[in-house]
Structure 1
Amino acid sequence: MATSPDPADDGWSSSSSAGPAAEPGSSRPDNTFAPAGFTAAGHATGDSGPGPRTTDRRTLRKQVASFALWDGGMSAFSSVILTFVFATYVASAVAAEGAVGDEAIKAAQDHGSQVLTTWQSVGAVAVALLAPLLGNLADSGGGRNALLRITTLGTVAVIALMPLVALDSDFLTLGAILIALAVVFSELAGVFVNSVLPEISTPANRGRVSGTAWAVGYWGSIVCLALVLVLFVMPGTGLLGITGDDGWNLRAIPIFVAIWILVGTLPLMIWAPRHRARTPGASWNPVQGYVSIVKHVRRALHEEPVMLMYLVASAVYRDGLGAVFSIAGVLAANAYGFSTVEVIIFGIAANLVAGFGVFIGGRIDDRVGPRPVIIGGCVGIIVLGLVVLVFGSTAVFWVAGLAICLFVGPVQSASRNLLTRLSRPGRETENFGLYATTGRALGFLGTAAFALTVWISGDTRTGILGIVLVMALGLAAFFPIPLGAAGRAVKADGAPASAG
């Protein structure tokens, strides 16, 4: 596993570590509506936005390492629970228990998938409504770290309840509800964690810090999936010797995952930098919060139109990115005949490649800026997706599919970095709440396009075309956005690295 980046290198100087920069516009008339570190015209000012909260290098290293470890811990939820193991157990084994005959089993599994996705849609609505509201609360009252702990521990608690889902079709709805609830808690926790990034980095090294955290997340998934495979799934009952009676070999996995997440996320819950309140002492209630958000969006239409355009465009291509991993197991099993063990091995390989890609991509981000990384990554995914579509062999799926994973992480990491550059100081958490909301509002595109393509063609393999089209749509929306210096690299002194 890679070491976390040293915050004393690549962009930290005594001036940039001195604390938060002045609000844009405090000394420059043309900065009134500019994001942190940039003028309204998109030129770098040398300010670092919120910047590191401390000048102590040891504390900064600890915070950066904790930030990366959080991704390494929480990634076990998406890889083990949501994608490759437990959700499959609920939608397939639990749903079909007691069914007799191939047709009855298929019908029961289709019903299981419908129940699972329906409850996840309910969860998506909850995230869309709560993410900006809680982001507004975190920024207004300074309670970001408390909310981070509550939502992270909420994720752990819900996952720890999943062994209650017995191998009985009567437990299908319970399993779907628990998975959806865990999604809500984890998505909300991600909003608060993302807002930590600008407080432990500068514009010059933010891509490296973000990319390393994403890489640790992917590599955490690899280790966790490998341990699940060896301890619970193979050979036979796994090394722990837990039998498959009543599904206990799979039902025990969430306990392991809950412990994994708790251990990985605990350091950041302890050492997250203090988040200053935007309006300390002011009263707050949900109605006021939503009113404030509406005012913020209306004001942003005039003052921050670039950020709003970016939120919409990125929501489209980010949904395509999410679909790449969410349907990878289904595509491997249904279109290429992978067994459960082969799907898990493919998942391990995919995360290994993705971790390497995002680790390198974060450094490229710092050298050339987030815009070229996002464009190049989207183009790579589109081209390789077409290769998978045209050449239907299993070997091509392995090679091109893993190559796609090489680009997914860098685009995700660069997208997070870019939003921190476009956010005004004191608005980071709220903007990441809107980031989550726009993502959820358009979160049906990738899976819907996949399903529609399969329905039209009658072939699961062609579903990749739907994802390719969503990625192309997102890229077309992103390409013309006038990001200015926010999309380019920044030197350690805050000056633009290039004019291109």
Structure 2
Amino acid sequence: MTGPTPPGAGGVADLEPLWRSREQRAWNWYDWANSAYYTTVLSVLFAPYMITVAGKAAGCGSSADDTCDKTVDLLGLHLAAGSLPFYLTSFATIASAFVLPVVGALVDRSSRKRLHMAAFAWSGSLFAALLFLMRGDHWQLGAFAVVVSSILGGCSLVSYYAILVDISTEDERDRVSSRGWAWGYLGGGLLLALNLVMVLAHGSLGLDKELAVRISLLSAAVWWAGFTLVPVLRLRDHPPRDVVAGSGRLLSRSFGQLFTTLREMRAFPMTLTFLVAFLFYNDGIQTVIGVASTYGSKQLGFGDGVLIATILMIQFVAYGGALLFGRLAATYGAYRCILWGTYAWMVIVVLAMFLPRKNIVAFLLLGVAIAVVLGGTQALSRSFFSLLIPRGREGEYFGLYNACERGTSWFGTFLFGIVFQVTGSYRPAIVALIVFFVLGAVFLLRLDARRGVEEAGNTAPAVM
């Protein structure tokens, strides 16, 4: 299985731009495919359902929620049922921080990145499908499945991001990444909308709520696996270029890869500067998204209907936000747009602090602002970082990029929790997150974008 062959290869006409465009469209479909898992499973349905199932096992009753302080036993640890899903996802992110750079180093040496991506995606979707079997008070299989599927999903993204460099020139990178991210929001939002309708209207469909949730979890796994076929069949194999030879045996190279990459990155100071900036502002973004429903319900007094509508609105508006930032990057450059995005996030968290209680219009308008900036900053961060990677080490560096995104994403929630505990209010807790965007902006301002691209041996885009 070698993938399609470019038409006209070896002919007089240069059809490479057309073939590259075809691959870019195929590449976008993996954003569409995997986003269903991250929205339906990890962001919305898994945590409350796991709390309910684990709560029954702990003796909290059938109406168990996150206030249940009774414990379940996990590998000898007694963990509160209400906290179990958060411990599981935290463990998965920390484990990913060590696994992903290893996967990246192996991807760099492969001429079949698309098959690596597919293998990780289909394995991850298989474990995600096992969540369907979590029912009653049997939570153990679900705990194992969500950890493994989350790690495998991250592994698939390392290959996916590395392919971006193979199928696009430096000047095309922002547009391609933004369009892919937009497709991800659209696909993830579409399946989430269908699943929320099924869960909320389960009685009308002849289902009990537990079965409706389980079918929704299964649908995300099937969606992920099924749509992964599109890029697998339409992408080409690209031979590795400028591969850095490894020393030592495979295991010694692999398990030391994270620290080796960090040490060698000192030769690329602008790349390291951006990675530190990304670590801070991305942590702020992830925390805002993660605590938004809590802030809306506990501090602003909104019910589930308003919160669900806002979640869906953000998914679909973020589609337009990603495309908008892609167009802005073509005029002003990705670096400036990312910097402006961090400024916008500062304004958003300050406005969030002063939102009046139960004012739906103000809450929805802020949700629109979040959606527009959310899609744009994340999409352009991916494409801009690709310009700062030395050729032949895309997988290795994107592995580190994803490790930073996942392994440090608890800083913001930790700060949010500490401020709430000290003040007793979510308002100062939400505005405290501004520190992450300020630090991100500080490091971005220290970054010389053109120098970073040239140090990595890449060609600077026409607009930086």
Of 330, 342, 345, which residue of structure 2 is paired with 1:378? 342
Of 145, 150, 155, which residue of structure 1 is paired with 2:119? 150
In structure 1, the residue matched to 2:171 is 204
Q: Is the 8 A contact 1:207 1:414 kept in 2?
A: yes
Letter in 2 for 1:106: T
Separation of aligned partners in 1, 2:347 and 2:81 = 33
Of 63, 68, 71, which residue of structure 2 is paired with 1:107? 68
In structure 2, the residue matched to 1:399 is 365
Q: Is 1:95 matched with 2:55?
A: yes
The structural deviation recorded for 1:90 is: 1.4
Of 211, 227, 232, which residue of structure 1 is paired with 2:194? 227
In structure 2, the residue matched to 1:314 is 278
Of 306, 313, 323, which residue of structure 2 is paired with 1:342? 306
SS in 1 for 2:237: coil
Which stretch of structure 1 is more off in the superposition, 334-343 or 203-212?
Answer: 334-343
Separation of aligned partners in 2, 1:113 and 1:105 = 4
In structure 2, the residue matched to 1:412 is 378
Of 140, 160, 185, which residue of structure 2 is paired with 1:193? 160
- TM-score of the superposed pair, with normalisation by structure 1: 0.79
- TM-score of the superposed pair, with normalisation by structure 2: 0.85
* Cα distance per residue 1:355-398 (max 9 Å; x no partner): 11111101211221111111111111110211110223333222
Separation of aligned partners in 1, 2:268 and 2:356 = 45
Identity %: 23
Which stretch of structure 1 is more off in the superposition, 336-345 or 122-131?
Answer: 336-345
In structure 1, the residue matched to 2:227 is 264
Separation of aligned partners in 2, 1:279 and 1:306 = 20
Letter in 2 for 1:297: L
Write out the 4+ residue segments of structure 1 that deviate beyond 6 Å after TM superposition: 101-105, 279-283
1:104–1:363 distance in 2 versus 1, CA, 3 Å: closer
Of 399, 418, 422, which residue of structure 2 is paired with 1:452? 418
SS in 1 for 2:429: helix
Letter in 2 for 1:304: F
Separation of aligned partners in 2, 1:494 and 1:238 = 57
Q: Is 1:300 matched with 2:272?
A: no
Of 171, 194, 211, which residue of structure 2 is paired with 1:248? 211
Separation of aligned partners in 2, 1:79 and 1:321 = 15
Separation of aligned partners in 2, 1:480 and 1:280 = 32
Q: Is 1:328 matched with 2:292?
A: yes
1:178–1:344 distance in 2 versus 1, CA, 3 Å: farther
Q: Is 1:125 matched with 2:89?
A: no
Pairs within 5 Å for 1:147-186? 147-168=116-137, 171-186=138-153
1:77–1:57 distance in 2 versus 1, CA, 3 Å: same
Separation of aligned partners in 1, 2:166 and 2:444 = 26
Separation of aligned partners in 2, 1:145 and 1:105 = 40
Pairs within 5 Å for 1:5-44? none
Q: Is the 8 A contact 1:72 1:220 kept in 2?
A: yes
* Cα distance per residue 1:254-275 (max 9 Å; x no partner): 1211121122222122333324
In structure 2, the residue matched to 1:388 is 352
1:373–1:455 distance in 2 versus 1, CA, 3 Å: same
Letter in 1 for 2:227: G
1:266–1:375 distance in 2 versus 1, CA, 3 Å: same
* Cα distance per residue 1:479-500 (max 9 Å; x no partner): 2122226689xxxx966447xx
Letter in 2 for 1:313: A
Separation of aligned partners in 1, 2:332 and 2:184 = 23
Q: Is the 8 A contact 1:141 1:281 kept in 2?
A: no
Letter in 1 for 2:215: A
The structural deviation recorded for 1:315 is: 1.2
Q: Which runs of 5+ in 1 are unaligned?
A: 1-16, 19-53
Separation of aligned partners in 2, 1:410 and 1:255 = 30
In structure 2, the residue matched to 1:21 is none
The structural deviation recorded for 1:415 is: 0.8
1:329–1:313 distance in 2 versus 1, CA, 3 Å: same
1:236–1:275 distance in 2 versus 1, CA, 3 Å: same
The structural deviation recorded for 1:125 is: 2.1
SS in 1 for 2:228: helix
Separation of aligned partners in 2, 1:104 and 1:206 = 44
SS in 1 for 2:432: helix
Letter in 2 for 1:191: V
Separation of aligned partners in 1, 2:463 and 2:212 = 53
SS in 1 for 2:356: coil
Aligned positions, number? 436
* Cα distance per residue 1:61-114 (max 9 Å; x no partner): 332122111111111111111112222221246526752599997234993342
Q: Is the 8 A contact 2:131 2:217 kept in 1?
A: yes
Separation of aligned partners in 1, 2:415 and 2:260 = 33
Q: Is 1:60 matched with 2:20?
A: yes
Which stretch of structure 1 is more off in the superposition, 118-127 or 338-347?
Answer: 338-347
SS in 2 for 1:222: helix
1:139–1:310 distance in 2 versus 1, CA, 3 Å: same
Backbone CA RMSD of aligned residues: 3.0
Of 233, 237, 260, which residue of structure 2 is paired with 1:274? 237
In structure 2, the residue matched to 1:215 is 182
SS in 1 for 2:168: coil
Separation of aligned partners in 1, 2:263 and 2:63 = 55
